[in-house]
Amino acid sequence: MQGQSARLPGITRSAALHDQLYRYAEDLQQLIERNGRLERHFETLRESCDQLTESRDELDRILHASRDIHIVTDPAGIIVQINPAAERLAPRDTMMGCKLESWIQSSHRGDFLALQQETSSARADFVHERELYLNSKFTGSPTIIVIASVIGVRRDGELHFLHWVLRDVTHMRETEFESRLSSMVFKSSAEGIIITDIEGEILAVNPAFTRITGYSSAEVIGKNPRLLNSGIQSRDFYVEFWRALREEGVWQGEVYNRRKNGEIYPEWLNVTTVRGNDGKILSYIAVLSDLSRLLAAEKQLAYLAHYDALTQLPNRHLFSDRLELGIAQAKRAGQRFALLFVDLDNFKPVNDTYGHLAGDIVLKEIATRLVTSVRESDTVARLGGDEFVIIAPGLSGEAEIGRLCAKLIEAIGRPIPVEGRHLIISASFGCAVFPEHGNDALTLLKRADDTMYRAKKAGGGHYALFGPLPNHGAYLGATE
């Protein structure tokens, strides 16, 4: 037939089979290639799975070894997982299933709830952070201060877990507090403080140092404390000073230093050696206290213990000491001395009429006149009120005693100006002589006192001697 090719029946079947086999081969090849791709994809998935497992294990190891506290809670705050560091709060079985809020101190629960709310309501993952105070079940650390960070773990947009990371900053806060406290003490201390390096170069001084020495910090930093040296301490003193610092780590004692204005002053110095963990010396800290006022106060107290505050004369205590000393010296030297007991006549009306201030003026003036009328070797003392006593070494004759008493009566009797007025005061004197009228202090003073009253009965402005002395006559005299 025209336009058609003729095929033999056997050839047609062979060609069809060939085409079919060819298609099978192509399909098989595609299957093989697809299988290869699947194998490679599976291998990739297996490797990824291994990497994820490895990463998870590594993360678990990191969390397990972390010093930070890691706690996972559900959205309601129930603890579902913790790392070993969290057991600083309490044992694991105590914490699991509890609300994390129960471990927060009440004063910080508001911050905790706000932090939880911020994290729960955030649309995207965001790390929120606040400082919290936690309760601990261990008595050694009842409070733990942490910086709390929270990460919200979401799946398909829904919050599944809260991952809390609590970094313990207790030691840091305590160190900061101690540092602030030390700084406050350093600045506000009433004692001067000097910090030097191991060579003695001044690194810092506090304001009290400036008040005590007169040197500002700018004038002394970088210099040696030797600039305060008064020159009073010897070389041996400093040898012992450095020996104690090296061997004992501390030295304290009284020293004399020099202020910027050149004034030498006493101070109590306490120097401490500061060492590092390796035992090496890092610096020296010196604390100095100005003893000037203290010593002045002690001197004033000692003065007041022995002298009358109004007249500045020796008081009863010092008079007793001097009388005992006078008796002892007189016994050793075989000498005599006179004791005069003085009492002002009609002094009470002065206080009653013109007031105690006027009376004080009179007493001070009388004391001055008594002191200026006797010898330097004599002692004038005030026993109290308007009573005075005079110890006159070597004075023993009636004539000598009479002349002295007359001189004193005349001095006391001169007008005393008081607030625009001139007051006239007289005094009565009782005299006793050692050893004729008494060989001990108590007897001698009593007899001089008794004799003074005899003189006062004579009308005032008189003196009387307790009894006649060898080769002497009458013992009652007057101011005429």
Q: Which residues are catalytic?
A: 386
DSSP code per residue over 170-220: HHHHHHHHHHHHHHHHHHH-SSEEEEE-TT--EEEE-HHHHHHH---HHHH
In sequence order, what are the residues at sequence separation of 6 or more whose Cβ sits closer than 8 angstroms to the Cβ of residue 182? none
As a whole number of angstroms, the distance between CA 477 and CA 480 comes to 9
Sign, CA dihedral 441-446-452-458, equals negative
The CA-to-CA distance between both ends of the chain, in Å, stands at 198
H/E stretch holding 370:
helix 356-373
Closest CA to 376 of 396, 391, 386: 391
In sequence order, what are the residues at sequence separation of 6 or more whose Cβ sits closer than 8 angstroms to the Cβ of residue 316? 381, 383, 384
Contact 371, 378 (CB under 8 A): no
Q: Is 126 helix (H, G, I), strand (E, B) or coil?
A: coil
How far from chain centre, in Å, is Cα 42? 74
CA distances, 180 to each of 196, 202, 275 (Å): 20, 21, 21
Instruction: For Cα atoms 455, 460, 463, give the angle at the middle one, nearest 5 degrees.
Output: 40
Contact 353, 421 (CB under 8 A): no
Q: Count the helix, strand and coil residues of the chain and give each as a percent rounded to the nearest 5.
A: 45, 25, 25
CB atoms within 10 A of CB 472: 16
Instruction: For Cα atoms 321, 322, 326, give the angle at the middle one, nearest 5 degrees.
Output: 125
Tokens of 146: 């942490």
Tokens of 89: 């709060």
DSSP code per residue over 207-247: HHHHHHH---HHHHTTS-GGGGB-S-S-HHHHHHHHHHHHH
Contact 60, 53 (CB under 8 A): no
As a whole number of angstroms, the distance between CA 437 and CA 465 comes to 9
